C-alpha cells in the first residue's frame, strides 16, 4: 500500500502548485484631485468625519432614531442573511479541497438457482444459501493540480467580502433615509406652524373687516376677500398633515416599527436640526476607500476574475484519488480476521480532448463577464463622483436661496405690520392687506421648505461620500 500511495501521490504533489487563469490585481481608476464644487460649497480642507456624521446635525432625537437602525431595521437583517449565505457558499467551496469519505456497511443472504446459468457448477445437493457481511470506507479526492478548486474558493471569498460591502451600503442608505425623513417631518411641522399662525392672523383680519362692514366703513367685498384668503390658507394645512403622516410612517418602517409608533417621540415640534457651519468633504480619492458600493463592485470584479481561472482549468486534465478499505466475510464472526481485509486505490485521470469548443466558449463567457464587471466598476465610480458633485452644488445654492428667502420673510413681516396699521387708520384699502398676508404665508412656507432642503442636501452629501461606517474599524 505504501508503494502504491507513493507512486500515485508523488506526481500529483509535484504538479499541485500550478494555478491557471489570471491573478487578480485591483484596477487603478483615475479620480480628480479636488471637488469641482469645492469653492462653491465653501468646503474646509482636511479629513472628513463621516463615521458619525449625524452628530454634526446636533439633534438628540435624530441621534436616538439613528441608534435604532442597526438593531431594528429589517433591510439590514436581510443584508446580514445574505452575508450568512455567502459564507456558507464559501464553506462549500473550501470543502471541495478535502477528501470525501463515506462509511458503508451491508449484511445479506443469497442463494443461487440450481436451474440457472450456473446450475452445472452446483455442488451435490444444489446451491445453499450464503451470507455476506461487508463493512468499510470509500474515499475520493480531487487533486487540485491546476487550481480549479483554489480559484473557486478565491471567487467565493471575494463574494463574501462583496456581501459585507452590500450590508454596509444598506447601512449607509438607511442612515441617510432615516435622517432625510426625519428632516422632512420637521420641515412639515414648521410649515404647518406657519400656516396655522397665518390663519390666526387672517381670522383677526376677517373679524376686523366684518366689524368695519357692520359699521358701514367698508364694503361686503372686503369681507368676502378676507374669508377667501383665510380659507385658502386653511386648505393648505391638510395637505401638509398628509405629507407629515407619510413621512412619519416611512420613518417608522425604516426602523422596523409599525406605522404610528414614532408619533410620541415626534409629537413635539423641536424645529429643524442645526448643522455645524463647517463642512469637510475630504478628497475624491477617499471614495474608493469609503463608499461601500464601490468596494462591492471591486470585490465582484475579483470574484469574476477568479471564475475565469475556474473555467480555464477545464482545459487541463483532472486528477482524482479514490480508494476503498473494507472487511468482507461470509460469517459475521470472521470480520475481525486479517484474511477478511480488502482494499484498493487508484488515480483516475479525466481529460476532455474534444468538446466542440465548449470549454473555450465558457472561458470567453467568463472573460466577458469580467470585462462587464470592470466596466461596471468604472461606471459606479463615475456615478459616485457625479452624486457627490451634485450634492455639493445643491447644498451650496440652496443655502443661498434660503438666506434670500429669510430676508424676504423679514421684509414681508414688516410690510404686513405697516399695511395693517394703515388699513386700521383708513389710509389704504383692504386689497393691500390681503396681498401682504398672502405673500407672507407664501414666503414663510417657502422658507421652511428651503431650510429643510438645505439639511437634506447636507445629508445627501454625507450619503454620497459613503458616511455611516468606519473603514478602519
Cβ atoms within 10 Å, residue 343: 13
The pTM assigned to this predicted structure is: 0.86
On whether the CB atoms of residues 272 and 186 are closer than 8 A, the answer is yes
Domains and CATH numbers, the chain: 19-99+146-317+359-464 (1.20.1600.10)
Q: Quote the CA–CA distance of 306 and 156 in Å, as a whole number.
A: 9
pLDDT profile of the chain (473 residues), mean per 10? 54 63 92 74 66 92 93 92 96 92 89 73 75 89 91 96 96 96 96 96 93 88 93 96 96 94 86 85 86 96 96 93 89 82 90 91 96 96 94 92 96 95 88 93 96 96 92 79
Q: Quote the CA–CA distance of 384 and 381 in Å, as a whole number.
A: 5
* pLDDT at residue 276, as a whole number: 84
**Which of 219, 226, 231, 237 lies closest to 435 in space, CA to CA?**
226
Q: Quote the CA–CA distance of 409 and 264 in Å, as a whole number.
A: 31
* pLDDT at residue 4, as a whole number: 54
* pLDDT at residue 14, as a whole number: 46
Helix%, strand%, coil% for the chain, nearest 5: 65, 10, 25
* pLDDT at residue 46, as a whole number: 62
| Grid cell 455476506 in the structure block, residue | 132
Cβ atoms within 10 Å, residue 279: 18
* pLDDT at residue 128, as a whole number: 73
Report residue 107: phi and psi, to 5°. -145, 130
Q: Three cell numbers at 135?
A: 463493512
Q: Quote the CA–CA distance of 454 and 174 in Å, as a whole number.
A: 19
Amino acid at each position: 500500500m505504501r508503494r502504491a500511495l507513493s507512486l500515485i501521490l508523488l506526481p500529483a504533489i509535484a504538479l499541485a502548485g500550478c494555478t491557471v487563469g489570471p491573478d487578480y490585481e485591483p484596477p487603478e481608476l483615475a479620480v480628480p484631485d479636488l471637488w469641482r464644487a469645492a469653492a462653491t460649497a465653501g468646503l474646509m480642507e482636511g479629513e472628513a468625519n463621516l463615521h458619525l456624521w449625524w452628530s454634526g446635525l446636533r439633534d438628540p432625537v435624530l441621534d436616538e432614531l439613528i441608534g435604532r437602525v442597526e438593531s431594528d431595521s429589517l433591510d439590514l437583517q436581510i443584508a446580514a442573511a445574505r452575508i450568512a449565505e455567502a459564507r456558507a457558499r464559501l464553506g462549500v467551496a473550501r470543502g471541495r479541497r478535502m477528501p470525501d469519505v463515506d462509511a458503508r456497511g451491508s449484511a445479506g443472504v443469497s442463494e443461487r438457482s440450481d436451474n440457472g446459468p450456473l446450475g452445472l457448477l452446483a455442488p451435490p445437493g444444489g446451491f445453499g444459501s450464503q451470507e455476506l457481511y461487508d463493512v468499510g470506507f470509500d474515499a475520493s479526492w480531487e487533486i487540485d493540480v491546476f487550481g480549479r478548486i483554489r480559484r473557486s474558493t478565491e471567487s467565493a471569498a471575494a463574494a463574501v467580502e462583496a456581501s459585507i460591502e452590500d450590508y454596509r451600503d444598506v447601512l449607509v442608505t438607511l442612515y441617510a433615509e432615516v435622517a432625510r425623513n426625519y428632516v422632512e417631518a420637521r420641515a412639515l411641522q414648521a410649515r404647518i406652524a406657519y400656516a396655522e399662525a397665518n390663519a390666526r392672523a387672517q381670522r383677526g383680519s376677517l373679524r376686523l373687516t366684518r366689524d368695519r362692514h357692520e359699521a358701514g366703513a367698508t364694503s361686503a367685498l372686503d369681507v368676502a376677500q378676507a374669508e377667501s384668503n383665510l380659507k385658502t390658507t386653511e386648505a393648505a394645512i391638510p395637505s401638509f398633515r398628509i405629507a407629515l403622516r407619510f413621512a412619519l410612517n416611512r420613518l417608522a418602517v425604516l426602523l422596523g416599527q409599525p406605522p404610528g409608533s414614532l408619533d410620541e417621540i415626534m409629537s413635539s415640534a423641536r424645529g429643524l436640526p442645526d448643522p455645524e457651519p463647517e463642512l469637510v468633504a475630504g478628497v475624491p480619492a477617499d471614495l474608493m476607500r469609503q463608499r461601500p458600493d464601490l468596494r462591492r463592485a471591486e470585490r465582484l470584479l475579483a470574484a469574476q476574475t477568479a471564475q475565469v481561472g475556474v473555467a480555464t482549468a477545464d482545459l487541463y486534465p483532472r486528477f482524482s484519488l479514490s480508494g476503498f478499505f473494507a472487511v468482507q466475510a461470509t460469517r459475521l464472526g470472521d470480520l475481525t480476521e486479517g484474511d477478511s481485509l480488502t482494499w484498493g486505490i487508484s488515480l483516475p485521470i479525466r481529460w476532455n480532448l474534444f468538446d466542440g469548443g465548449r470549454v473555450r466558449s465558457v472561458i470567453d463567457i467568463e472573460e466577458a463577464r469580467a470585462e462587464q464587471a470592470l466596466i461596471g466598476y468604472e461606471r459606479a465610480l463615475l456615478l459616485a463622483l457625479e452624486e457627490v458633485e451634485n450634492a455639493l452644488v445643491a447644498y451650496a445654492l440652496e443655502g443661498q436661496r434660503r438666506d434670500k428667502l429669510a430676508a424676504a420673510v423679514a421684509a414681508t413681516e414688516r410690510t404686513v405690520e405697516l399695511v395693517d396699521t394703515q388699513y386700521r387708520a383708513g389710509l389704504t384699502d383692504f386689497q393691500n392687506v390681503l396681498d401682504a398676508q398672502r405673500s407672507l404665508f407664501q414666503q414663510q412656507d417657502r422658507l421652511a421648505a428651503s431650510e429643510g432642503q438645505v439639511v437634506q442636501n447636507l445629508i445627501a452629501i454625507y450619503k454620497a461620500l459613503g458616511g455611516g461606517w468606519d473603514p478602519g474599524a
